[in-house]
Structure 1
């Protein structure tokens, strides 16, 4: 019992010291964190993702990191590659083949087991559905928040940033899943990607 008393006294002294420094928040963090609300349960379009967003991850893009410009892909090792990447929560399989959604054998269960769907799922997890400006998938490569991979998009007018923004801002209709044919409205009649 006597050994616990000095530890308790030390803890009280530390608390008093913190209080005398202006409170128990030495890093000046906000008292309350406000996360953007997402309660609609809507999904983003898998159709648009695999045709228009996933290919961006394999493009050799310019990277500006601390004034040094290089080129790299988002899905490369060292970046967001699922096996060797160091890029946080966004994990990608660079070799993910497209899924033929017109093949009746590719049921939602089959598609959800595919590598392309793993990329979709990881990407959707880095978004606030319907709010591109609040989505890490855009904020990080534009350096609006810390991105260890440097600045990829210099502004929202970058063609790839516009495409990602278009995808995030157009969720599937309420009650429809990510495979909804409503996703076809995000493509031109010839199957090209819209971005505005």
Structure 2
């Protein structure tokens, strides 16, 4: 009887055309022409984006006023964070960009870069979780609203990073890039 029930369940799932019996799509693809197969800049990430995740930022509308960091233990800290797939190693050291690719890619800073890049929707950057979550734009963000609007300087840096991929034929470690919004 159990074998028959199991076979019926498998047939039900297979008959759904993939996904689950509840009708969810099998996978959401982030393919297409978004970046044309290009990567986002590690150098810009390290200089301008990672500091956003370490900065003490106000949580808008909190009373009394509260500040927190994205890399905080209750948020996106790699060891103890509760903030989903996006993880930040707060103690990641700045990497010498003259290091070999293997050294850079083995670093904690690169792990932060890789995690952040995973939150980018290349075909529509305004739908990327790095934008929608801290703006609380159509999604719940357990950390509250961090940025007031798209004009926030941090949002501008994120948007620049996401909309200026590395030129075709170069990898994410290239350092020859046009200047973006002001960074430290």
Which TM-score tier does this pair reach, normalised by the shorter chain? 0.7 to 0.9
Instruction: Report the Cα offset of residue 38 of structure 1.
Output: 4.0
Instruction: Report the Cα offset of residue 67 of structure 1.
Output: 6.5
Q: Name 1:98's counterpart in structure 2.
A: 94
In structure 2, relative to structure 1, the CA distance for the partners of 1:100 and 1:187 (3 Å cut) is farther
Q: Relative to structure 2, which stretch is displaced further, 36-45 or 162-171?
A: 36-45
Q: Distance in 2 between matches of 1:4 and 1:176?
A: 53
Residue correspondence of structure 1 range 80-119 to structure 2 within 5 A: 80-102=76-98, 106-119=99-112
Matched, 1:153 2:147: yes
Render the CA deviation track for 1:60-99: whole Å, top value 9, x for unaligned: 1011377764110000100000001000011001111111
What value does the CA root-mean-square deviation take over the aligned residues? 3.1
Deviant stretches of 4+, over 6 Å: 29-34, 65-68
Instruction: Report the Cα offset of residue 173 of structure 1.
Output: 1.1
Structure index of larger Rg? 1
Residue correspondence of structure 1 range 47-86 to structure 2 within 5 A: 47-64=43-60, 69-86=65-82
CA contact (8 A) 1:82 1:93 kept: yes
Matched, 1:173 2:167: yes
Q: Distance in 2 between matches of 1:160 and 1:75?
A: 15
Q: Distance in 2 between matches of 1:127 and 1:58?
A: 19
Q: Distance in 1 between matches of 2:3 and 2:180?
A: 68
Instruction: Report the Cα offset of residue 131 of structure 1.
Output: 3.5
Instruction: Report the Cα offset of residue 186 of structure 1.
Output: 2.6
The TM-score normalised by the length of structure 2 is: 0.78
Q: Distance in 2 between matches of 1:151 and 1:178?
A: 30
Aligned length: 169
CA contact (8 A) 2:77 2:89 kept: yes
Q: Name 2:136's counterpart in structure 1.
A: 143
User: Helix, strand or coil: the match of 1:129?
Assistant: coil
